[in-house]
Amino acid sequence: MILPVYTYGQPILRERAAPVTEDSPVLQRLIDDMIETMHGASGVGLAANQVGHPVRLFVADLSPYEDELLEEFGEVPEWGRGPVAFINPEVVEADEESAVEIEEGCLSIPDVREYVVRPDRLRVRYLDRRFQPHEIPALGMLARVFQHELDHLDGVLFVDHLSALKRRLLQRRLREMAAGKVEADYLLYPPH
């Protein structure tokens, strides 16, 4: 089922999500619905609080970046072959010297894209949807998506990483979005 995506200004986007403590049919259904929602909105990643569930879970699908993954890893890792759930994700180590500036967007902030500086090399830990633990290197696009979605779970949005000047230039647009004046070609919450 496609879920509505919460937009800028909704309080849940500023809350720190709670850890996932157990597997359940409800959790598995949420993962499936989040994947369907992400694909329906042409997204690469989606955090649970973006669809109204303040738990430490995000989904990502990096399969469109297969060429980049081949270049970075020499093969396409299992997590790069289709949608993956990241439960209780955390960054174990970040190589700050690898930081690069890349344009980002967000399903919760439609039609806004800005450049954000983030480390390009991480070591991350998470549980997959079968609750199996993983600790892997996250390079390039996975590093970018992992940090963006992990920020969501901590109540941080990509616009928070912008300079004061850039935030000021976006202020009017963000105020309008918070007031419900926003459109997208996917389902939004609150309904517009």
Active-site choice (72, 104, 114, 149): 149
- Cα 127–Cα 8–Cα 187 angle in degrees, nearest 5: 75
Structure tokens at 58: 């995000």
The question of whether 15 is a catalytic residue gets the answer no
Question: Active-site residues: which are they?
Answer: 149
